Each structure stands twice: as C-alpha cells, then as structure tokens.
C-alpha cells in the first residue's frame, strides 16, 4: 500500500503550551465510546476495517525465520475459508527478520514494519540506534517503529529526545517513522500528551502507544489523549499524523471500540490503514472468528483458525 | 429505640445473579423473568441470560479448562469434597429454597442430603476412574499399547428441570471430576438452588471459569448450547424428541459428544456411577515401541 510522503517540520515545540489532561473527563469519554450500539451490517464493515489496519506482529526472542514466514503466510491468507477478506496492513518484526519477511511477502501489497533503536528499552547510544535503523531500512523495511528514550524524557531532557527522533527520522529515508512512547512507563496522561507533541514535532509519521513488553500496554485512555494531540497538531500545522495503539488489544469488540473513538475524535479522514494501525498478534483471529459468526450465526472456536 | 428498629427491620431479599468466570454478574442483556410460587407470589427476579452471556461463559470455561485438567486427581478430589462440606454448612438455605419452589420439607431435606452424599461419592472417584477405564491392550507387534482417558474439554449442560439441585449436582460432578469445564443452564422452573450452588462452588476453591451457571429460557438458549464450535460435549436432561433432534443436529457441526440423560430418577441410590464420568472423556491410545 502506498504511503504518502510527509514533509517534516522539525522545530522544537513550545512545551509550555501543551494543555493539561483532564483524567476524569478522559475516563468518562472513553466509557461513552464503549456504549455505542453497532448493528450487524456496520459491525461487519468495522471488523473488516480492523483487519485491514492490523500490523501483524511477532517480537519475541524466540522468533525464527520459519516463524516469520508462517506469520507472513497468515498476513496474506487470513482465513482462506472466507473469501473477500482484506489483508492486514503490515507485518511487524525485528530488524534481523526483515529480509525473511520481505522474501515471504514478495508480490503482495503488505508493508514490512521493523522495530529499531534498541527495542524495547531504547537504552543504547544514538550511533547504535542509527545503525539499527539503517540496517532495517536497508533490509527492506518500509516502516520503522522506534522507541522513544523514556529515561531521557522522564529526566526532563526533552531536547535530547527531540533531536534523537529527528536523527532517526533522517536515517529512515523514505521509510515511515512510528515513534513508540511506551505510555506504560510514562506514568501520567499529561506526560503522554507532552511526549506526543514532542514526537510529532520531531518528525514522526505515526505515534504509537507501546512496545507490548510493558504492562499496561495500549489503553483507550492513552490512545484518546494521543488522538487529541494529533487533532490539535493537525489544526496547528495542517499535517496529519497516524496513530497506532499496540499491545493488549486482543478482542474484536475492543478493536471496534477503538474505531468508534477514532471516528469521533479525528473523523473519517483517519479511518484508513494509512492513518491508523493496530499492533497486535491475537486480534486478527478474534476478528475472523467474529466475522464467521456474523455470517453463519454460530459461535466459533480458535481450534479452527490458523494460529499464525 | 433498638427494639423499634428491630421490629421495623426491612426485609433483605437476595438478588439471584448468574455465575460466569468466578464472578456474579447480572445478565449483559439486562432482562429478567419473574419466579412465582404456587399462589402467584413473587419469589425472585431471575436473570434471563442471553446468548452473549453464554458466549462469555464459553470463553471463561475454555480459559480455565487446561489448568483444571492439569490439577492432580488428588487435588480435584479434595475440591469436590470441599464443595460437599460447604453445601452441608448451608443445608438449611437449600432446603428453604426447595420448599419455596414447591417441594415438601421432607423431600427437600432428602434432596439436599443426597446431593451432599453424591458429591462425596464423586470426590472419591477422582483418582480411581482412570484405573477402571484405562487399559493395557494386547497387540501382536512389539509395542506397549495402552489407552487412557483425557477430558473432552468444555461441556455445555441443560440441567434437569425437575431435580433442580440433585440433578444438577449429579450431572455436574462427573464432568468436573474428569477435568472438564462446563456451562450449565439451570432448571428453568426452579432456578434458585443453582445460583446458591454457584456461591458454594465459589467458596470451595473451584477455580474461576471451571463451572459457569446461567439462568434463563431453554427455548432461547438450547440452540447456542448445542451449536457453539468451542464446546466439545453437550449434556441434556429434559425435552422430548424435538429437543433431542434439534440438539443433535446443531451439535453435529463440530462433532460434539451428545449425551442424552432424559428420564433418569436422580434420587435413586445407584443414580451416581462412574460411567457418568466416562461420558465426557476421550480415549487416547498410545503405541510405544519396545524391544527394538
């Protein structure tokens, strides 16, 4: 799928203008997104949209080329028994597995995302992170998921964080950059908002909640705060930034709740895989099970769906 | 002052809820049906569970089943015994509920006592049924060939309508003795004891999700109990030929075990037997090469 090139404006933002987050308000708003009644035809369309937005992910120390090839097969053929399904947006792997994924996905319109920059902790020098990024890009990754330096951010060294993201963005070249804030380590919604602003100004194409290695991973609360930051950034600069909640979104129902939130916060323009992604591994099968349930009326079992 | 307060004490009526994944939620559908005694007085408002409650129960049962099957037979036996102990402690409550739903006092006492005894009976079988039903098989090649039982997995159960406590216990105990998890649709006309029994289960170290108990309408839910692809066996205890045909047809889609227990008098002393355990077991036969 073609990703539109986005020009980055790398000017350090005035962080004193970042608004404070009303946590009670966020919780109430999130509760409301979860109470929308979505009826059958809309639900089927929503589920298909969720499928098309998934970054099918495997980020384990035990990943083997075989496992990655298997994941790519799953990405191409989600559920052969049900024709007419979309394929996922991308597969997301470690840099050393990018070449394997590229070969396995040859001829298919599925992007390859790679985590980089000393994922998941980000605790390494800038030169190592740049090398990591270049390696993934050279191997064929079209999207880079970098981790923000939480240590530096929490220490208040915002300029370091900003410069680092800008440098990685440059190393990405034509590849899209997703910046992982790792909201589970930031502690407060105010910091999530501040980190979002910092990442967007430094040149991120996407902002992403989590690595999936820290609990809590993506929650609707942090995602809403990040979506609001994207909205305000768009009003300010006319630039669209994508959003990727990742980790812990494993049920179709929750996936649809995220879409409701996306629709009601950013609007239709963001309702495509170009601007919204789910980082997930088990979500796809739950969505497939729901889609089969919708077409047959019979509740499904994971036993009859390929794992990955 | 104190005596006035005592005289005017407001009745504390129990809210009967359903039991899913070790918790007592209300039905997600928000629907209720009213339970009345013979004179038409309201006894309680019962949850009229929906197919989504059933779906959630299956998810919980599936999640809980593997660990329950892995627990040692000895531990499962202890937990079964513990259920019996807890039931004994709340004997009076169950008798009252049975009487409230139309039973005579004597019959009610009998039913509760037999239920407790049956639990203890099945508690004893946990580490013995394997010995009765497993076998070393004679084969004419150099293999050590043996067959053992394994739990079939998740079992759905339409509990007997008439024998609302004893029938429930007699069908439930053999299922969980064998390492299965289950979802029960309680007696439609006498659902009180099933909900109180869920409270007993919760207090007895039965892991969350191993037993899930719903109340509601059989006509509405049978279809889903029988057709769910993630259910491995269905037990039904009432209904004529029509119900049997419907259950069997819907159960065929993933080749569930279909166990028909209609017309059994659960109060008979020999109504409990180990073949009830075997009904929800799969036989695994292993060919192990020897002498080479």
In tens, the pLDDT along B181-200 reads 999 999 999 999 999 999 99
Interface test with A, best of B230, B233, B249 (most A CBs within 10 A): B230
Compute how many other C-beta atoms are within 10 angstroms of the C-beta atom of residue B210: 26
Closest by Cβ to A301, choosing from B51, B224, B254: B254
- The answer to whether the beta carbons of residues A131 and A167 sit under 8 Å apart is no
Tell whether B224 is within 8 A of chain A (Cβ): yes
Kindly state the tokens that stand for B243. 């119900």
Sign of CA dihedral A238, A239, A240, A243: negative
**Binary contact (A298, B58; C-beta < 8 A):** no
Flag if B228 and A304 touch (Cβ within 8 Å). Answer: no
**What's the confidence (pLDDT) of residue A3?**
47
Q: Summarize pLDDT for A162-173 with one digit per residue, the tens.
A: 999 999 999 999
- On whether any CB of chain A is under 8 Å from the CB of B249, the answer is no
Flag whether residue A81 sits within 8 Å of chain B, measured between CB atoms.
no
Per-residue pLDDT band for B38 (boundaries 50, 70, 90) equals confident
Determine contact, residues A206/A243, Cβ cutoff 8 Å: yes
What is the three-class DSSP state of A114?
strand
Question: Tens digit of pLDDT for each residue in A257-301?
Answer: 999 999 999 999 999 999 999 999 899 999 999 999 999 999 999
Using the predicted structure, report yes or no on whether residue B25 has a pLDDT greater than 60: yes
- Whether residue B119 is predicted with pLDDT greater than 70 in this model: the reply is yes
Give B-chain residues touching A299 at CB under 8 angstroms.
51, 55, 58, 224, 227-230
* A chain contacts of residue B58, beta-carbon cutoff 8 Å: 299
**Residue B36 pLDDT > 70:** yes
pLDDT band with cut points at 50, 70 and 90 for residue B7: confident
Contact check, Cβ <8 Å, B230/A303: yes
Cβ pair A75, A107 in contact under 8 A:
no
Q: Does A35 touch chain B (CB under 8 A)?
A: no
pLDDT of residue A9: 56
pLDDT score of A6 more than 50:
no
What is the percentage of chain A residues whose pLDDT exceeds 90? 94
Instruction: Measure the CA–CA gap between A57 and A248, rounded to whole angstroms.
Output: 12
One DSSP character per residue, A84-112 reads: TPPPPSEEEE-GGGHHHHHHHTTTS--EE
Contact present, A225 and A189 (Cβ < 8 Å):
yes
Q: Provide φ and ψ at A246, rounded to 5°.
A: -145, 140
Compute φ and ψ for A148, nearest 5 degrees.
-70, 150
Give me the number of domains chain B comprises: 1
Mean pLDDT of A172-196: 96
Contact between B118 and B272 (Cβ < 8 Å)? yes
CATH number of B180's domain: 3.40.605.10
Q: Are A101 and A93 in contact (CB under 8 A)?
A: yes
Instruction: Report whether A211 contacts A180 (CB < 8 A).
Output: yes
What is the rounded CA–CA span in Å between residue B46 and residue B35? 7
| Mean pLDDT, residues A26-40 | 95
Of A298, A302, A303, the CB nearest to B253: A298
Average pLDDT of the segment spanning B208-220: 97
Cis link prior to A216 (omega < 30° from 0)? yes
Among chain A residues, CA nearest to B228: A299
The number of CA neighbours under 13 Å toward the Cβ of B172 is 31
CATH superfamily of A33-298: Aldolase class I (3.20.20.70)
Give pLDDT, residue B2. Answer: 54
- In chain A, which residue's Cα lies nearest the Cα of B54? A299
Question: How much is the pLDDT for A10?
Answer: 74
- CB pair distance less than 8 Å for B227 and A299: yes
> Which of A301, A302, A304, A305 should one mutate to test binding to chain B, selecting the residue with the greatest count of B CBs within 10 A?
A301
Report yes or no: A298 at the B interface, CB cutoff 8 Å: yes
Domain that holds residue B130: 16-289
Q: Which residues of A are catalytic?
A: 145, 208, 244
The answer to whether the CB of B117 falls within 8 A of the CB of B81 is: no
**Strand, helix or coil for residue B154:** strand
How far apart are the CA of B228 and the nearest CA of chain A, in angstroms? Answer: 5
The answer to whether residue A238 neighbours chain B at the CB level (below 8 Å) is no
Which of chain B's residues have a Cβ under 8 Å away from the Cβ of A300?
229-230
Is the minimum CB–CB distance between B228 and chain A shorter than 8 Å? Answer: yes
List pLDDT tens digits, range B39-60. 999 999 999 999 999 999 999 9
What would the mean pLDDT of A73-98 be, rounded to a whole number? 94
Cβ(B79)–Cβ(B206) below 8 Å: yes
Q: Which of A252, A289, A292, A299 is the mutation pick for testing B, counting most B CBs within 10 A?
A: A299
- Residue A2 pLDDT grade (very low, low, confident, very high; cuts 50, 70, 90): very low
pLDDT digits (tens, 9 = 90+) for A247-257: 999 999 999 99
Domain-located, residue B7: no
Tell whether B3 is covered by a domain: no
Residue A1 has pLDDT above 70, yes or no: no
- Greater model confidence, B240 or B135: B135
Does ipTM come in above 0.90? Answer: no
- The residues with which A243 forms a beta bridge, in sequence order, are A207, A276
Mean pLDDT of A215-220: 95
In a domain, B1, yes or no: no
Supply φ then ψ for residue A5, to 5 degrees. -70, 135
Q: How confident is the model at residue B211 (pLDDT cuts 50, 70, 90)?
A: very high
Domain extents in chain A: 33-298
Q: Shortest CA distance to A284 belongs to which of A301, A259, A257, A307? A: A307
pLDDT of the residue at B109: 98
């Amino acid at each position: 799928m073609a990703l539109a090139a986005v020009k980055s404006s790398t000017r350090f933002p005035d962080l004193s203008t970042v608004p404070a987050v009303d946590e009670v308000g966020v919780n109430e708003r999130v509760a409301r997104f979860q109470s929308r009644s979505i009826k059958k035809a809309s639900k089927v369309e929503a589920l298909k949209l969720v499928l098309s937005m998934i970054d099918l992910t495997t980020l384990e120390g035990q990943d083997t080329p075989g496992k990655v090839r298997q994941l790519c097969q799953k990405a191409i053929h989600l559920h052969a028994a049900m024709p007419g399904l979309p394929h996922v947006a991308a597969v997301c792997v470690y840099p050393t597995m990018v070449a394997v994924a590229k070969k396995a996905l040859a001829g298919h319109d599925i992007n390859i995302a790679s985590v980089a920059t000393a994922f998941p902790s980000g605790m390494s020098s800038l030169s190592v992170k740049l090398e990591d990024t270049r390696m993934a890009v050279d191997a064929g990754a079209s999207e880079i998921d970098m981790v923000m330096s939480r240590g530096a951010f929490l220490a208040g060294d915002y300029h370091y964080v900003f410069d680092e993201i800008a440098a990685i963005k440059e190393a990405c070249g034509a590849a899209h950059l997703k910046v992982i804030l790792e909201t589970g380590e930031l502690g407060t919604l105010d910091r999530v908002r501040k980190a979002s602003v910092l990442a967007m100004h430094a040149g991120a194409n996407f902002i992403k909640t989590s690595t999936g290695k820290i609990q809590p991973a993506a929650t609707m609360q942090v995602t809403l705060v990040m979506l609001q930051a994207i909205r305000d950034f768009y009003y300010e600069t006319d630039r669209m930034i994508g959003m990727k909640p990742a980790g812990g979104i494993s049920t179709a129902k929750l996936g649809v709740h995220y879409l409701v939130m996306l629709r009601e916060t950013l609007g239709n323009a963001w309702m495509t895989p170009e601007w919204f992604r789910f980082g997930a591994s088990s979500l796809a099968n739950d969505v497939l099970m729901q889609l089969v349930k919708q077409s047959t009326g019979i509740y499904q079992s994971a036993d009859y769906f390929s794992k990955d | 002052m104190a005596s006035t307060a005592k005289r005017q004490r407001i009745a504390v009526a129990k809210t009967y809820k359903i039991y899913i994944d070790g918790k007592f939620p209300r039905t997600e559908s928000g629907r209720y049906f009213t339970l009345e005694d013979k004179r038409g007085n309201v006894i309680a408002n019962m949850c009229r569970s929906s197919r989504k409650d059933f779906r959630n129960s299956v998810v919980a049962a599936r999640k809980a089943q593997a660990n329950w099957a892995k627990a040692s037979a000895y531990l499962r036996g202890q937990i079964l015994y513990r259920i019996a102990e807890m039931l004994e402690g709340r004997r009076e409550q169950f008798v009252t509920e049975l009487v409230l739903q139309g039973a005579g006092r004597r019959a009610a006492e009998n039913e509760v006592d037999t239920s407790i005894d049956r639990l203890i009976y099945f508690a004893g079988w946990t580490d013995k049924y394997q010995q009765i039903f497993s076998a070393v098989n004679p084969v004419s090649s150099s293999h050590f060939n043996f067959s053992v039982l394994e739990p079939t997995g998740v079992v759905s159960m339409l509990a007997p309508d008439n024998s609302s406590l004893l029938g429930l216990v007699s069908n439930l105990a053999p299922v969980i003795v064998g390492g299965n998890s289950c979802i029960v649709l309680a007696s439609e006309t006498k659902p009180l004891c099933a909900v109180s029994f869920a409270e007993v289960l919760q207090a007895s170290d039965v892991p969350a999700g191993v037993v899930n108990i719903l109340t509601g309408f059989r006509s509405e839910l049978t279809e889903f109990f029988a057709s769910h692809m993630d259910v491995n066996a269905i037990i039904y205890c009432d209904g004529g030929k029509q119900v049997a045909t419907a259950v069997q047809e819907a159960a065929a889609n993933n080749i569930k075990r279909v166990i028909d227990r209609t017309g059994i008098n659960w109060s008979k002393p020999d109504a409990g037997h180990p073949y009830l355990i075997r009904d929800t077991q799969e036989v695994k036969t292993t060919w192990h090469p020897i002498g080479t």
